[in-house]
């Protein structure tokens, strides 16, 4: 899946995958930064709580964003049929930012995937609307989505379940609640299938703010583990037996805390954004 083509001269919107459990009341640095990016008091943030089965999820985020000075809207899509409604699509056109909540990412992909709502999200982001997602909402941002898999530090055959995501980027694959739930092994297993992309393992209360030029800044209280498979030379994934451990030789790994940067185009990591931009 290719990312949507932007209007000529119009930069894409930011992509902001959040590792889940972001601070909402006490020091909500990630949400505040998202609101500021979307226009501050002029921000119009669309909340999509489809991944969650809790009725209070959408209203909770509406209240949070409105308390931060933004205007907020919610479209509680629960069935695929709703994704074809002109009323929902017209509401989406007014957004300067889209926020997809956490929950079950397969619920997200089976309800939204391939619908006019999914296509509108892709088009709006291509034309400058910023897109953030937490937990399941983060996982679905990329072309390939991790839908499930084994916990633990070791990659294993059959250790990850993949499904199509929204395809807002084809440069990364994302796993969330990363250290809390011990998901290194399943992210490595996912990368063994597609060594083109970088793996982002995002901790809770941590986000990757990915600019239109591919420069990513880490924000929050944990880390983003970046696994770069560009130099992967050997992999045993194609011949190990079911559930056996997998060997991967030549991976590069960066552990990036708040204020660190990574360029998804050049695969360079740094603590100095100016140096990263100067290298391009």
User: What is the C-alpha to C-alpha distance for residues 269 and 99, in angstroms, rounded to an integer?
Assistant: 27
Closest CA to 182 of 210, 162, 153: 153
Q: Angle 211-216-217 (CA atoms, 0-180°, nearest 5)? A: 110
**Contact, 168 vs 16, CB < 8 A?**
no
For the record, the structure tokens of 143 come out as 């072309």
Contacting residues for 223 by C-beta, under 8 A, at least 6 apart: 179, 203, 206, 255, 256, 257
**Helix (H), strand (E) at residue 185:** helix 184-193
Active centre residues (catalytic): 135, 177, 204
The beta strand positions in 108-196, using DSSP E, are 130-134, 144-149, 160-164, 172-175
């Amino acid at each position: 899946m290719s990312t949507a083509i932007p209007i000529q001269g119009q930069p894409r919107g930011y992509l902001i995958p959040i590792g889940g459990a972001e601070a909402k009341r006490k020091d909500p640095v990630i949400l505040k930064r998202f609101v500021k990016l979307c226009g501050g008091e002029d921000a119009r943030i669309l909340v999509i709580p489809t991944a969650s089965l809790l009725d209070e999820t959408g209203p909770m985020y509406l209240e949070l964003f409105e308390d931060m000075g933004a205007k907020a809207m919610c479209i509680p899509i629960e069935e695929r049929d709703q994704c074809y409604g002109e009323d929902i699509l017209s509401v989406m056109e007014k957004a300067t930012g889209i926020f997809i909540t956490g929950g079950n990412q397969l619920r997200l992909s089976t309800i939204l995937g391939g619908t006019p709502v999914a296509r509108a999200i892709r088009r709006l982001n291509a034309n400058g609307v910023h897109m953030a997602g937490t937990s399941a909402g983060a996982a679905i941002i990329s072309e390939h989505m991790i839908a499930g898999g084994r916990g633990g530090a070791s990659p294993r055959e059959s250790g990850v379940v993949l499904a199509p995501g929204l395809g807002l980027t084809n440069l990364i694959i994302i796993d969330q609640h990363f250290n809390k739930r011990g998901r290194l092994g399943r992210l490595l297993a996912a990368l063994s299938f597609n060594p083109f992309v970088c793996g982002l393992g995002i901790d809770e209360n941590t986000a990757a703010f990915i600019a239109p030029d591919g420069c990513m800044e880490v924000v929050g209280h944990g880390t983003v583990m970046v696994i770069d498979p560009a130099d992967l030379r050997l992999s045993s994934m194609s011949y190990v037996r079911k559930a056996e451990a997998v060997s991967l030789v030549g991976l590069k790994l960066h552990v990036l805390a708040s204020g660190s940067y990574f360029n998804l185009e050049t695969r360079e990591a740094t603590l100095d954004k100016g140096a990263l931009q100067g290298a391009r």
